[in-house]
């Protein structure tokens, strides 16, 4: 840990904090010095497990305990973001758990509210900081893959949605709480698309959930394809489950297996393979061992951006809210397209 790193005050002690935020911060050497959750017993249990010295009895107490260099880690459902932001002191630093509100209007309100209070704020679209994504960006930026022309994200797994009770009451679910990561990632790799085609649907086994399967096509014109296909209901064993990101360019390709999503939350090992053709059009696939994974390591990247911005006021974090709003705009367009093009009954 760098001595100048600020400490972290965490708001929320749910599963994502227990399985991702806190393990990532511990691995990276960040200091979480305080925790608040509306479930005080849960907060005490999590604090004891991760050696967090302070558990606060109220949100007001947590906010009052923060020093000027501390960062609030706001790990609450999207519907709770705005009420908490209203209570933060002007000029505070805060990392918001994704999504950036439940819809585009809330995202705009969050951005406006943060600007009004001059908050140093970022959004936790953390997949962009997963170690295998950082390696893929390195290969793309080096020119070894050539001109990017295809991104395919394909998820066919059985996801235990029961781990997150609040999802069962939401009007928007799969894209807003899962595929949003892939929309954000495609934007990071390919820039802004021209339009979208999409459909998000339910499953007979999970009627309480608004959607559990999605098909998203981000249109980049004649020479670029970007598709996202997710099915979280493959209950027929691991044999034909898969979870991968495939990136292709004019000179090479990258294949990433997202092991985390298979047998979640235990997960399977990730895989990273790539090929780069020489001037004769020849090449061989190579496997690389990547240190770390999406969970928990990518979460250190999101918080690391806030720490850099906290240390250098001229630095604009990569996960700034203006960029997050762009992802939210495309998610909104996906939902609008879905609603307008539902088949008539």
**DSSP letters spanning 197-234:** EEEEE--TT-TTSS-SEEEEEEE--TT-EEEEEEE-B-
- Choose among 77, 86, 11, 91: nearest CA to 43: 11
Q: Measure the CA–CA gap between 235 and 230, rounded to whole angstroms.
A: 14
Domains of the chain (ranges, CATH numbers) = 8-126+299-315 (3.40.50.720), 128-287 (3.30.360.10)
Q: How far, in Å, are 193, 214, 224, 293 from residue 326 at the CA level?
A: 11, 20, 20, 25
Q: Measure the CA–CA gap between 324 and 107, rounded to whole angstroms.
A: 9
The pLDDT value given to residue 33 = 95
**Count of CB atoms situated within 10 Å of the CB of 293:** 17
pLDDT digits (tens, 9 = 90+) for 293-332: 999 999 999 999 999 999 998 999 999 999 999 999 999 9
The radius of gyration computed from the CA coordinates of the chain, to the nearest angstrom, equals 20
The pLDDT value given to residue 159 = 97
Q: Measure the CA–CA gap between 297 and 135, rounded to whole angstroms.
A: 14
- Choose among 330, 345, 343: nearest CA to 197: 330
Written in H, E and C, the secondary structure of 142-159 is HCCCCCEEEEEEEEECEC
Contact 307, 178 (CB under 8 A): no
The mean of the pLDDT values for the chain is: 96
**Whether the predicted pLDDT of 120 surpasses 90:** yes
Q: Which pLDDT band, with edges at 50, 70 and 90, does 1 fall under?
A: very low
The pLDDT value given to residue 345 = 65
Backbone angles phi, psi at 185, to 5 degrees: -65, -45
Q: Which pLDDT band, with edges at 50, 70 and 90, does 265 fall under?
A: confident
Beta strand 242-249 pairing with 252-257: antiparallel
Q: pTM for this one?
A: 0.95
The pLDDT value given to residue 11 = 98
Residues with Cβ within 8 Å of 228's Cβ and at least 6 positions away in sequence, in order, are: 153, 179, 182, 183, 186, 214, 215, 216, 217, 218
Q: Measure the CA–CA gap between 5 and 33, rounded to whole angstroms.
A: 12
The pLDDT value given to residue 4 = 59
């Amino acid at each position: 840990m760098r001595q100048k790193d600020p400490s972290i005050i965490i708001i929320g002690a749910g599963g994502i904090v227990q399985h991702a935020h806190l393990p990532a911060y511990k691995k990276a050497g960040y200091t979480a010095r305080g925790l608040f959750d509306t479930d005080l017993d849960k907060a005490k249990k999590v604090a004891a497990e991760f050696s967090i010295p302070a558990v606060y009895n109220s949100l007001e107490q947590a906010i009052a305990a923060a020093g000027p260099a501390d960062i609030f880690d706001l790990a609450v459902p999207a519907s709770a973001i705005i009420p908490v932001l209203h209570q933060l002191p002007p000029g505070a630093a805060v990392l918001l758990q994704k999504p950036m509100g439940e819809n585009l209007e809330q995202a705009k309100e969050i951005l406006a509210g943060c600007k009004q209070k001059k908050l140093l704020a970022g959004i936790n679209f953390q997949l962009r900081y997963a170690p295998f994504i950082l390696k893929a960006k390195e290969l793309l930026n080096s020119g070894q893959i050539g001109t990017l022309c295809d991104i395919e994200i394909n998820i066919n797994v059985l996801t235990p949605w029961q781990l997150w009770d609040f999802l069962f009451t939401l009007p928007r679910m799969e894209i807003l709480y899962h595929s949003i990561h892939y929309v954000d990632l495609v934007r990071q790799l390919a820039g802004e698309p021209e339009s979208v085609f999409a459909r998000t649907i339910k499953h007979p086994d999970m009627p309480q959930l608004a959607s559990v399967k999605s098909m998203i096509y981000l249109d980049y014109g004649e020479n670029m394809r970007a598709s996202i296909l997710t099915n979280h209901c493959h209950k027929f064993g691991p044999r034909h489950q898969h979870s991968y990101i495939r990136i292709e360019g004019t000179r090479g390709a990258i294949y990433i297996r997202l092991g985390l999503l298979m047998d979640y939350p235990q997960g399977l090992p990730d895989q990273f393979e790539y090929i780069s053709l020489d001037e004769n059009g020849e090449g061989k696939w190579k496997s690389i061992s990547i240190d770390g994974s999406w969970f928990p390591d990518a979460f250190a990247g999101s918080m690391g951006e806030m720490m850099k911005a906290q240390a250098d006021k001229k630095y604009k974090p990569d996960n700034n809210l203006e960029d997050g709003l762009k992802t939210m705009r495309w998610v909104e367009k996906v939902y609008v397209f879905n609603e307008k093009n539902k088949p008539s009954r």
